[in-house]
Amino acid sequence: MDIISIIAGLLKDTKSLIEFEEQLKLLMQKAFTQWVGEIFEELDKTIKQEKLEEGWVYCRSDNRSVQFLFGSVTFKRSLMRDKRGNSHYPLDECLGLVPHRRYSPLVE
């Protein structure tokens, strides 16, 4: 189902314009957080490939959730080991995410 059909269905199923607007906002937030998570995962794949070419070793993928102003974004990112054996989450480092913090800098 395309987004226009979904929005039309919301309009049909809600009892007031206020309810429609509230439901549409929730739909947009859900879609946007999902898209951002997918973009982060694509960026992780690119960074992972670059690090493998530099001689790093892939260990595993782990989930992470970060609360942004527009909602909670969940994504998988790669744990890797550099040439010295130190563990890194290159995506987290690229994005400037602090280990163990669940909020974006703006939310904090």
pLDDT at 108: 86
pTM of the model: 0.86
Query: Which residues of the chain register pLDDT less than 70?
Result: none
CA distance 32 to 27: 8
For the chain, the domains span 33-95
Q: Are 84 and 44 in contact (CB under 8 A)?
A: no
Cβ(46)–Cβ(97) under 8 Å? Answer: no
- From residue 40, alpha-carbon distances to 22, 33, 75, 94 in Å are 27, 11, 7, 10
For residue 9, what pLDDT is reported?
92
**Full 3-state SS string of 27-93:** HHHHHHHHHHHHHHHHHHHHHHHHHHHCCCEEEEEEEEEEEECCEEEEEEEEEEECCCCCEECHHHH
Q: Identify which of 39, 82, 84, 41 has the alpha carbon closest to the alpha carbon of residue 59.
A: 82
- State residue 1's pLDDT score: 73
